[in-house]
Structure 1
Amino acid sequence: MGPETSDERLMLAFRAGDARAFEVLVRRHRTPVFNFILRFTGHRARAEDVLQETWLKVVRSAPEYEAKAKFTTWVYTIARNLCVDSARKESYRQAASLEAPTTGTEGDEGRPLGEALPDEGVSPERGAYNARVRPLLERALASLPEEQREVFILREYSGIPFKEIAEVTAVSENTVKSRMRYALEGLRRRLAELGVDGDLAEDGRTVAG
């Protein structure tokens, strides 16, 4: 199982009983899938739970897996659906109790979401800019409607093509592109309100990586 082995072949190998293939898939995709879940939920502890549920569902669904679509499309669909379920449950809990404690692991309370995300290698100059702007971007993202936020995250952070995002979210590709356009407009507007300008306000990609 070399680095050139496709995700789909790895998943078929796992379905056939090769546990090592699953380990390779997890190593390849754990961080980007976690980042997607974390940005979707906005809570590290809940994101860790959803990530675990995602891989458990991959394991449980392995016997029925068929390489009809890309593995990434399949796994992000699982993660996305679990995020939606988690958001609904959290909304119900918040409605049931206005005194619900802040979600987070020990020592993470009040920690900005941007600080919980793995830091990709960037130049010192851009790193400093990102450290200042990233929390503002996360705030702006959180203000977007859910359907716009998930499209932006899948496209800009996970690098998923529009066609695959359409499959993940079960809408047309044109709808996905429309949501992306509205997301960018909403982010520019919100970031301008927060005092951010430059490349980020132009295309939304400055710290999306």
Structure 2
Amino acid sequence: MKLLENIHAVRMLGKFQNYLLTIAANTCNNYFKKAKPIYTDLNTLDIADDTRSALERMIENENTAEVRKTLLSLPDYQKEVIILRFYHNLKIREIAKITKSNIPTVKSRLRQGLQKIERYLNDFKGGDNV
């Protein structure tokens, strides 16, 4: 919507995808700065397939929740890089363009963010292995 509202001011110099993701990243950052807690009605949750045991599903859900919680606890600049890299499968160079950072900075943010997640999950699981 932001792109369409401001189409008259658009000056595209690179890939459309990178331009659109830059707008999306900035919009998400602005949203989460003033975000409120999100509550989910248990009745609306999808029912997982029954091929896995209830214990396996519970462990997977708990792990997923902990990864999300850990990701949200990271500073915005590390969270943004990790989301673009692993959720959108972007390359380091593309992330650098979107975040207006240089490549070594993106690599550093990615490495430091992943190390923080790993440390947190090690503490969560009570061991040295993730």
Instruction: State the TM-score, normalized to the length of structure 2.
Output: 0.75
1:103 aligns with 2:103: no
- Residue 14 of structure 2 is matched in structure 1 by 69
How many residues align? The count is 122
Q: For 2:87 and 2:122, how far apart are their aligned partners in 1? A: 21
Query: Structure 2 regions of 5+ residues with no counterpart?
Result: none
Divergent runs of 4+, >4 A: 63-67, 196-199
- C-alpha root-mean-square deviation of aligned residues, in Å? 3.2
> What are the equivalent positions in structure 2 for 1:25-174 lying under 5 Å apart?
56-65=1-10, 68-88=13-33, 90=34, 103-104=37-38, 108=40, 128=57, 130-174=60-104
Which has the bigger relative contact order, CA under 8 A and spacing at least 6? 2
Identity %: 26
Is the Cα contact below 8 Å between 2:18 and 2:98 reproduced in 1? Answer: yes
Q: Aligned to 1:194, what secondary structure does the other structure show? A: helix
Deviation of the 1:131 alpha carbon = 2.4
1:178 aligns with 2:108: yes
Deviation of the 1:103 alpha carbon = 3.5
Is the Cα contact below 8 Å between 1:133 and 1:196 reproduced in 2? Answer: no
Is the Cα contact below 8 Å between 1:165 and 1:176 reproduced in 2? Answer: yes
